[in-house]
Amino acid sequence: MLIDHLSQQLRQRRELGLERVRRIAEGPCAPHLPVSRPGAATDAPQPMLAFCSNDYLGLAAHPAVVEALAEGARRWGAGSGASHLVSGHGRAHERLEQALAEWLAPLWPEGARALGFGTGYLANLALMTALGDARTTLFTDRLNHASLIDGAQLARAEVRRYPHNRVDRLEAMLAECATPVKLIVTDGVFSMDGDLAPLDRLLALAERHDAWLVVDDAHGLGVLGEAGRGSLAHVGLRGRRLILMGTLGKAFGVAGAFVMADPVIVEWLLQTARPGIYTTAAPPALAEATRASLEILRGPEGDARRAALQARIRQLREGLAALLAAHPGCGGSLPESATAIQPLLIGDNHRAAALAERLRQAGLWVPAIRPPTVPEGTARLRITLSAAHTEADVARLLDTLASSLAR
Ligand SMILES: *Cc1c(COP(=O)(O)O)cnc(C)c1O
C-alpha cells in the first residue's frame, strides 16, 4: 500500500519533469571536474566545467585547509563521540567559536558570542524554535531560505510573511503587532536571485519597533564586506539587535554553521535549542579545517580571492548584457545582482531545462531552477561563480550561451 502509493507519486513527478537526479562528482570540488550519472558505471565520467557550487572563494580544496583537516584528525581522531552538552565539545570547537567571535566582533560594539551548529539548516531550526516562543512574532521575507521557513513552521510563534524586500509592508505589520517579542528574519543574500536584503532599513525598523534582526548570511559571509565579514559589514551595519547565522560550507569551503549574537541570546540557544542539543558534535577536525579557512579568508589571500571573484562577476554580467542585447527575442533577462549568484531568467520551465541540457552537452554544468523552488514563470539558469574560475572559464560559458540562446 505504501509502496504502491509512493511509486505512483514518484511516477507523477517524473511525468511532470520534476524528478531530481544526483550526479556523481568524481573529483574534489573545483570548477573543472569529472562527473558521472548514477548507474552509468560503464560510461567514462564526463569532464565538466561547473558553475553551480557555493565554494565562492575556491577554499574547499585549498591545500592549507585540507592539511588542517588531516592534521586535526591525527590530533583529535575522527568523531567527537557525543553531543556538545555531554562530552563532544572539544578544544578545537572552542577555539573555532572564539576565532569566529573575534573576527566578527566589530559588528557588535556591546559584545557578542559565537555558537557552533552542525549545519546551517540546523542553526536556523535552532534560532526559530528557541527564540520563536508563544510571546513572539516572526516576520519573514517570502523568499527566505527553506530552512528558515521550516524553522518558523516548527516554532510556536506567530508567523507573518512579507513580500520580498518590501520594507513598507513589513513596517505596517510591525506597527499592528501586539506580541512583546518581534523578530525580523531575512536572508542577507537571497539564494535564488543573488540580490541583497535592505539590511540598513531593516535594522532601522528593528530599532524603531523594538524588534531584533535575524540575518542568514549563508551567501554573504566570506564574500562581501571588509575582511569578508559579510552583508552586514558590506553596508557598514553594527548593533546589539543583530542576530547572525553564518554557514561554514559555502565560502569557507568546509561544513557547519554558527550563530553570533548578544551573549544572553547565545546562552539561551546553548541551553534550549534542540537542534543544537540532540545531535552529535561535528568531528573536531572539521573545526580545525574551518579555522584554517577563516585565517585565509579574513587576510590578504581572502582579499585577493574576493577581488578575483568580483572580476569574474563583472565579466559575466557585461558578457550576458551584450548577449541579451544581441538576441532580443530570446526571452532571457538578467536581474540586478552584485554577488556570486547570477540568475539568467528564462521564464518557461521547458526552455530553461532545454538550455541547461544544451550546456551540459557542451560540458558546462549550470543548473536550471524551476518552480516550486522559484515562483511560477521565473525558471532560470542559476550561475554561481567562484574565485577559482578563470577568465577563460567565464568566456567559455558566455560563448556556449551565445550559440545556445541563438538556437
Ligand atoms: C545553504 C543555506 C543554508 C543551509 O546551510 P547548510 O550549512 O548547507 O545546512 C541556510 N540558509 C541559506 C540562505 C543557505 O543558502
Would the CB of 56 count as within 6 Å of ligand 1? no
Output the average pLDDT for the chain. 96
Q: What is the mean pLDDT of residues 103-132?
A: 98
- The alpha carbon of 309 and the centre of ligand 1 are apart by a number of angstroms equal to 20
40-65 confidence digits (pLDDT tens): 666 789 999 999 999 999 999 999 99
Q: What is the grid cell recorded at 75? A: 590530533
- Per DSSP, what are the bridge partners of residue 141? 162
Residue 145 is a catalytic residue:
no
From the number of C-beta atoms within 10 Å of its C-beta (0-12, 13-18, 19+), residue 156 rates as exposed
Do 203 and 214 meet the contact criterion of CB atoms below 8 Å apart? Answer: no
Q: Which pLDDT belongs to residue 404?
A: 87
Phi, psi (rounded to 5 degrees) for 396: -65, -40
Q: Per the residue annotation, which of 191, 231, 293, 404 is the catalytic one?
A: 191
Tell me how many helices (H) and strands (E) the chain has: 14, 14
Would the CB of 193 count as within 6 Å of ligand 1? no
Q: In the chain, which segments carry CATH 3.40.640.10?
A: 63-298
Q: Which pLDDT belongs to residue 325?
A: 92
Q: Could you give the CA distance from residue 21 to residue 357 in angstroms, rounded to a whole number?
A: 13
Q: In the chain, which segments carry CATH 3.90.1150.10?
A: 29-58+301-405
The pTM score is 0.96
Q: What is the mean pLDDT of residues 298-303?
A: 98
Q: What is the grid cell recorded at 266? A: 547565545
Q: Could you give the CA distance from residue 269 to residue 151 in angstroms, rounded to a whole number?
A: 14
∠ CA 287-290-294, nearest 5°, is 135
For ligand 1, atom 6, name the residue with the nearest CA: 120
11-50 confidence digits (pLDDT tens): 998 888 778 889 999 999 999 999 998 876 667 899 999 9
Q: What is the mean pLDDT of residues 315-338?
A: 91
The residue whose CB lies within 8 Å of the most ligand 1 atoms, and thus the one to mutate among 124, 148, 247, 369, is 247
- The alpha carbon of 218 and the centre of ligand 1 are apart by a number of angstroms equal to 6
Would the CB of 247 count as within 6 Å of ligand 1? yes
Residue 250 is a catalytic residue:
yes
The third-level CATH classification (topology) of the domain covering 63-298 is Aspartate Aminotransferase; domain 2 (3.40.640)
Cα-based torsion angle of the residue sequence 297, 302, 305, 307 in order, rounded to the nearest 10 degrees: 130
The third-level CATH classification (topology) of the domain covering 29-58+301-405 is Aspartate Aminotransferase, domain 1 (3.90.1150)
For ligand 1, atom 10, name the residue with the nearest CA: 120
CA distances, 275 to each of 108, 348, 385 (Å): 25, 38, 31
Q: Could you give the CA distance from residue 392 to residue 404 in angstroms, rounded to a whole number?
A: 18
Rg (CA), the chain: 22
Strands (E), 51-198: 113-117, 136-141, 158-162, 181-187
Do 216 and 120 meet the contact criterion of CB atoms below 8 Å apart? Answer: yes
- Per DSSP, what are the bridge partners of residue 347? 379
Instruction: Check residue 347 and give left, alpha or beta (phi > 0: left; psi -120 to 50: alpha).
Output: left
Q: Could you give the CA distance from residue 199 to residue 168 in angstroms, rounded to a whole number?
A: 14
Do 226 and 307 meet the contact criterion of CB atoms below 8 Å apart? Answer: no
Q: Does 372 sit behind a cis peptide bond, omega within 30 degrees of 0 on the bond before it?
A: yes
Residue 333 is a catalytic residue:
no
User: What is the residue whose three cell numbers read 541583497?
Assistant: 196
Q: Which pLDDT belongs to residue 40?
A: 66
Mapped onto helix, strand or coil, the DSSP state of residue 373 is: coil
Q: Which amino acid is at 226?
A: E
Q: Which amino acid is at 99?
A: A
Q: Per the residue annotation, which of 84, 93, 219, 389 is the catalytic one?
A: 219
Phi, psi (rounded to 5 degrees) for 181: -115, 135
- Ligand 1 atom nearest the C-alpha of 249 is 7
